[in-house]
C-alpha cells in the first residue's frame, strides 16, 4: 500500500518559535510505503467525502487517521475565534500526545477532499507504538512536537481572565501550563482589551479567575478539577477499576515507577493532585541530571516521562487528589476527593515533599501578591528589572537565583547558615558567585512581612539579633521539606517528621509477615515508598528515578509470592 503522490506536504500556519518551525519535517512527517504497510496491520481503510468531520474538538478517545489519498485540515476553535493549526496530505497522520491518553481533542479534523484513510483506534495505536519501534519513534516525536507547537499558539483554545496579584489566578495558570494546555491569558491590570472581553462573556472582577472553555462555557472561580473536566484534561477511565499498581504522585519517582511497571505488562494508574513532574517539574533548569550535559527544564523532563508512561499504557490522571486509602483488605481501596474510587493490588507512594512555610504573621495574605514558592517564567515576568529576595540554601533556591538573575535587577539570597556549601551543589554556588547581580546574605532570617495589598517590605534579623527593614516586592521561599503523607492515615509507619519508613527502617513490631520487607517496602506489604517522601532518601532527581524503577523490581517479587 502506498500513499498517493498527489500531495503530502503539510503546513503549520500557527505562530511558533523558530526552533519548532525548523522541525516542520518532524512535526508533519510523510510516511514511506514500508511504514504504510506496517500501519495497515493496525487499522482499517475507510473512505470520506469532502467536508466530513473525522473528530471534533473536545471528543475523547479518538482514532488516528493516516491519509492514503485526499487531504484534511486541523482547526482549533476558541471563544476568540478559530484558527487552522495544520493541513495534512497523503502520507501524513493525525494526533498529538493527548490522543494516546484518550484525552479531549484539541482541535477538529475535517476532510477537505474526497479521501481514503487508514483509521487506527486508540487501543490499536497504543499497541502500535509499543510493537513497532522505528515507526513509534516517528509518531511519538511528531506527537510531542505538535503539543509544544500548540502550546506556543497564544490564541489557544482556553481563555483565562485573571489578575497578576491573585493567588488563585497564579495557581490556575501554573496548572494549565504544567499540564501542557494551550491558553490565552488576559489580565485585568495589564491588558487593555481585557475589560471588553470580560463584558462580552459576562465575567466580572468578582468572578476572577474565570475560564472560558473552547465550547464557550464560562467557569467562574473554578476548582482545578472543574477546569480539567471542562476542557477534557481529566481522566474518565479510573473510577471503579482495579489496577495491578496505583502510583500516587507523578514526580520523577512516580513516573519512573509507572514507566517500568507499564512496560512490563502491569496495569498502572498514576494519580497526581496538580501536574506531572512534582517539585522537580517547577525547576527552570536541572543541570546535574545524568545524560543532559546542557541541562533540562523540570517541565521538559516531566513531559518526556509522561509521554513514556502513556506510551506503555499507564493511565495518568490529573488532577486527582487522593483523600484516603483503605489498606485493610486484600486489595487497597483508594478514594479521590472528586468522589471517584479505585482499587489496587499494590501501591507506590511517590507524593514527595512540599516547601515548608515559615512562621511569619500574615504570610498567606501575601501569597501570590509578592510571595512565591516557585520560580517559573510566569513569576519572572512579575519581577522583571526589579529586586527580588530568595530564602533558602538548597539546589532549588540556587536554580531559582540563577534563573531570576537573568530577569531581575538584583537577586538577594538569604540563609541562616554561614554559607551554601553544606546544602547546595558546587556548580550552582559557582554560578551564584560569578553573577554580578546576585548577593548572598548569610546568618540572617526573615522575621516580618509588610505591605497593604501587596508585599512592600521585609524585616530580617541578623545572628546578633539586630532587625533591619528593606524594600522587597518579590519574595521566593524555598525552605526545607514537609512530606505529603497525611492522606495515608495510619496505613504505614512514619518517622518523627512524618516521612515514610521503608525496608530496614520498619520496626519489627509493625511488620506482619515472616519474610522481611523489601528495601523500598513500607510497614504494609505491597505498599512501597520512593523519592522525597521516603525517610532518609537522597533528595535528587536521579535518586528518585532510580528508586521508582527499583520498587517495580521488588513489586514483581511481592506479587508473585504473597
Distance CA 413, CA 401 (A): 7
Could you tell me the fold of the domain covering 158-231? Glutaredoxin (3.40.30)
Tell me the percentage of the chain whose pLDDT exceeds 70: 95
363-477 matches 242-353+484-561 in CATH topology: yes
**Joined grid coordinates for residue 45:** 481503510
* Pairing relationship of beta strands 44-48 and 115-120 according to DSSP bridges: antiparallel
Q: Is the bond preceding 415 in cis, omega lying within 30 degrees of 0?
A: no
- 10-19, 123-132, 371-380, 477-486, range with the lowest pLDDT: 10-19
Give 393 or 17, the one with higher predicted confidence: 393
Q: What is the pLDDT of residues 498-516, one digit of tens each?
A: 999 999 999 999 999 999 9
Distance CA 438, CA 434 (A): 8
Distances (CA, A) of 38 to 47, 128, 308, 531, 540: 19, 9, 22, 40, 41
Could you tell me the fold of the domain covering 18-152? Jelly Rolls (2.60.120)
User: What pLDDT is recorded for position 6?
Assistant: 41
Structural class in CATH, domain 363-477? alpha beta
Contacts of 266 (CB under 8 A, 6+ apart): 243, 244, 245, 552
User: What pLDDT is recorded for position 57?
Assistant: 92
Cβ-in-10-Å burial (0-12, 13-18, 19+) of 56 comes to middle
Distance CA 426, CA 494 (A): 32
| DSSP-based three-state secondary structure for 154 | coil
Q: Which pLDDT band holds residue 22 (cuts at 50, 70, 90)? A: confident
Residue spans of the domains in the chain: they are 18-152, 158-231, 242-353+484-561, 363-477
Distance CA 249, CA 270 (A): 7
Distance CA 375, CA 222 (A): 24
Give 203 or 538, the one with higher predicted confidence: 203
Could you tell me the fold of the domain covering 242-353+484-561? FAD/NAD(P)-binding domain (3.50.50)
Q: Which pLDDT band holds residue 562 (cuts at 50, 70, 90)? A: low
**Joined grid coordinates for residue 328:** 485493610
| CB contact at 8 A, 256 and 314 | no
Tell me the percentage of the chain whose pLDDT exceeds 90: 77
Q: How many CB atoms lie within 10 A of CB 506?
A: 20
When pLDDT is averaged across residues 469-473 and rounded to a whole number, the result is 93
The residues facing 113 across adjacent strands are none
pLDDT of 18 above 80: no
- 20-24, 150-154, 417-421, range with the lowest pLDDT: 150-154
The residues facing 111 across adjacent strands are 72
**Joined grid coordinates for residue 405:** 538573575
Amino acid at each position: 500500500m502506498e500513499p498517493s503522490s498527489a500531495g503530502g506536504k503539510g503546513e503549520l500556519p500557527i505562530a511558533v518559535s523558530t526552533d519548532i518551525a525548523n522541525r516542520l519535517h518532524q512535526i508533519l512527517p510523510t510516511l514511506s510505503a514500508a511504514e504504510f504497510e506496517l500501519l495497515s496491520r493496525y487499522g482499517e481503510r475507510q473512505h470520506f467525502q469532502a467536508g466530513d468531520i473525522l473528530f471534533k474538538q473536545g471528543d475523547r478517545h479518538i482514532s488516528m487517521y493516516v491519509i492514503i489519498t485526499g487531504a484534511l485540515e486541523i482547526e482549533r476553535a476558541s471563544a476568540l475565534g478559530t484558527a487552522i493549526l495544520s493541513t495534512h496530505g497523503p502520507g501524513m497522520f493525525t494526533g498529538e500526545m493527548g490522543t494516546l491518553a484518550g484525552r479531549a481533542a484539541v482541535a477538529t479534523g475535517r476532510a477537505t477532499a474526497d479521501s481514503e484513510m487508514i483509521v487506527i483506534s486508540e487501543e490499536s495505536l497504543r499497541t502500535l507504538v509499543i510493537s513497532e519501534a522505528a515507526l513509534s519513534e516517528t509518531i511519538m516525536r511528531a506527537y510531542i512536537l505538535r503539543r509544544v507547537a500548540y502550546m506556543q499558539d497564544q490564541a489557544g483554545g482556553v481563555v483565562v481572565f485573571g489578575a497578576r496579584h491573585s493567588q488563585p489566578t497564579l495557581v490556575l495558570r501554573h496548572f494549565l501550563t504544567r499540564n501542557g494546555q494551550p491558553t490565552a491569558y488576559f489580565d485585568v491590570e495589564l491588558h487593555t482589551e481585557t475589560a471588553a472581553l470580560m463584558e462580552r462573556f459576562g465575567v466580572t472582577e468578582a468572578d476572577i479567575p474565570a475560564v472560558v472553555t473552547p465550547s464557550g462555557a464560562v467557569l467562574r472561580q473554578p476548582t482545578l478539577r472543574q477546569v480539567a473536566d471542562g476542557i477534557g484534561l481529566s481522566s474518565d477511565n479510573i473510577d471503579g477499576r482495579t489496577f495491578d499498581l496505583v502510583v500516587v504522585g507523578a514526580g520523577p519517582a512516580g513516573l519512573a515507577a509507572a514507566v517500568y511497571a507499564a512496560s512490563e505488562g502491569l496495569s498502572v494508574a498514576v494519580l497526581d493532585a496538580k501536574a506531572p513532574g512534582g517539585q522537580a517539574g517547577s525547576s527552570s533548569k536541572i543541570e546535574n541530571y545524568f545524560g543532559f550535559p546542557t541541562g533540562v527544564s523540570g517541565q521538559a523532563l516531566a513531559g518526556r516521562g509522561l509521554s513514556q508512561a502513556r506510551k506503555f499504557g499507564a493511565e495518568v490522571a490529573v488532577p486527582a487528589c487522593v483523600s484516603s486509602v483503605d489498606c485493610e483488605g486484600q486489595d487497597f481501596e483508594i478514594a479521590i476527593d472528586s468522589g471517584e474510587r479505585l482499587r489496587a493490588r499494590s501501591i507506590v507512594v511517590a507524593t514527595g515533599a512540599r516547601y515548608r512555610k515559615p512562621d511569619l504573621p500574615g504570610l498567606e495574605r501575601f501569597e501570590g501578591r509578592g510571595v512565591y514558592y516557585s520560580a517559573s517564567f510566569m513569576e519572572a515576568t512579575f519581577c522583571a528589572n526589579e529586586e527580588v529576595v530568595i530564602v533558602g540554601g538548597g539546589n532549588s533556591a540556587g536554580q531559582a537565583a540563577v534563573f531570576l538573575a537573568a530577569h531581575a535587577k538584583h537577586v538577594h539570597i538569604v540563609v541562616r547558615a554561614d554559607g551554601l556549601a553544606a546544602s547546595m551543589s558546587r556548580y550552582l554556588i559557582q554560578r551564584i558567585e560569578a553573577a554580578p547581580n546576585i548577593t548572598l546574605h548569610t546568618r540572617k532570617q526573615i522575621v516580618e512581612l509588610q505591605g497593604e495589598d501587596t508585599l512592600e517590605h521585609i524585616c530580617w534579623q541578623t545572628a546578633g539579633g539586630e532587625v533591619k527593614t528593606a524594600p522587597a516586592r518579590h519574595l521566593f521561599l524555598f525552605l526545607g521539606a514537609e512530606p505529603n503523607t497525611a492522606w495515608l492515615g495510619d496505613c504505614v509507619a512514619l518517622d518523627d517528621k512524618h516521612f515514610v519508613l521503608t525496608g530496614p527502617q520498619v520496626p519489627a513490631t509493625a511488620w506482619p509477615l515472616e519474610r522481611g520487607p523489601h528495601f523500598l517496602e513500607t510497614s504494609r506489604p505491597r505498599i512501597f515508598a520512593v523519592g522525597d517522601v521516603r525517610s532518609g532518601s537522597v533528595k535528587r532527581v536521579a535518586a528518585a528515578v532510580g528508586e521508582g524503577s527499583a520498587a517495580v523490581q521488588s513489586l514483581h517479587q511481592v506479587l508473585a509470592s504473597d
